[in-house]
Structure 1
Amino acid sequence: MNISPPPLVVILTFCFNPDNLYGTLLTFKTLRVGFPDAKVLVVDNASHPVVRSSIRESAFAVGAEFIQYEQQIPHHFFIRQTLHAEVGSERPLVFADPDLLFWEPVLLPEGDYLVAGRKLPSFYDSYTDTFTEGRLHTSLLMIPSVKKLTDRMLAIESKHWEMDVIRPVMIPEYDRVRRFDTFGVFSHMAAEFCHSFSEPELDRYDHIFCGSHVDLVASKLHSYSKNLVSSHQQAITDYRQLKGLWRQQEHMFLSLALPRKLSVPSVQDGTEPVSIVTY
């Protein structure tokens, strides 16, 4: 299905360490493969001054509009701000990370849904030391109608008035911490309105993860750190070799989605702990 009208693709860039500029510019190498006719808006989130001109030039090279922020804003706030700005538009909206690679045109999926993306399973995240709930990952989110999505968000947040369905949150839960990453609360509260990309849809692109901050997280990722660093090195030398990387990543996430025992008070007398296996 062809998207009509063409979507607005919004890319938020951020690069604090100039050594990671390759990951901040990666999407621009193949963006027009994935979205040949889209209008593109690139917003730089107060990157290091040394790299700003490179980001701006890369944006202009793909025909994008470019906005420079002087002060950094949180990712979740940017998403909500962009949704608010586009709520009156009839065009689809796409959020895309700067560390993506597109192998084929990315099309709006068929079906009745409010948002589409790559579904990550629930897994133990060693970087944050949390049990992170499954969600549609924000690296590539496709929204056919901003108005319908924001209406659903408002309905949830009006009923549960202390809830923010976009903002990440960590919740203490007995002997562990439960985490909903960015957009995770909406993915949980409105799962029936979320389309998870199929294998053919995932084959159209890849995402290297942590493109602008791999140096901050790799040392805390334990078993996957070598694979993450290796994919980043490949992105520098020959990114074409990364086609199908998502399958390797999927194995990693599933290996971290092992059952974990959670001790909670007994339902019988409120004193004796019982163990519940969760996934």
Structure 2
Amino acid sequence: MMTAIRLGLAVAAFAAVASEARAQASTALPFAVGERLVYDGRVRGIGGRGTMWIAGPVVVRGVPTYELHFDFTARVGPLTVSQKSTSWLDPERMAAMRFEKRERHLLARRDESVELFPDERRWRANNGDAGISPTSAPLDELSFIYFVRTLSSASDSTLRFDRHFDAERSPTLVRMLGREQVSTPAGSFNTVVVEMRVRDPQHYKGEGTIRFSISDDRCRIPVRIESNIPDAGNVVLTLADAGPDTLCSARLARR
């Protein structure tokens, strides 16, 4: 009887320690539920608006996740360019569980919905496509941005990640280019400049480049994002506001 009691206490203690470790791991991330970042956007000289925010937690197949959102809208003449992406990210493993995307560009309309199964290293799209993932901690194009926020490395260094859920879209190369000060409507920031090279034959006809200026502090906020939207052109997003619920909003220097 005493042996059983001691065993039970040991199991309970281990579970408590494991739970605390998981909580600390999530807390250590530079983002959390409630973060909301608003951006002024420019595409072909036309103004637009972008928003990144985190909702949740949302349970996906028994796993608590952060529901990551990115919305961008701009009008180009009589037409509207819009992109809406949602990723369900397990913050403990930094593994995506589900991804959805809806694009409306000048000459194209695209919809994507994918279920990811990290433990099984596979994925399945709603259009019937399916494949094997190169890792048990897969990412999609939106959750990859949040993953990049967790990285730290020396300038002029290049990191390789085989983390995209679709093996044909790996590797992703992340290069730390240096540091620069960026002035935005939300304030002036010392930033780390990061270049991400992604493989995406459908969108970029081979390789695409996304450049981030990320605040050089524990917040790791993307202050400026520059990329290309297919059929629309070069897009620059500049931070306009970080909402009051943003993890680090109280520390943003407004100059």
> With structure 1 as the length reference, what TM-score do the two structures score?
0.25
Q: Considering fraction of residues, name the structure with more strand.
A: 2
Q: Considering fraction of residues, name the structure with more helix.
A: 1
Q: State the structure with bigger RCO (CA 8 A, min sep 6), 1 or 2.
A: 1
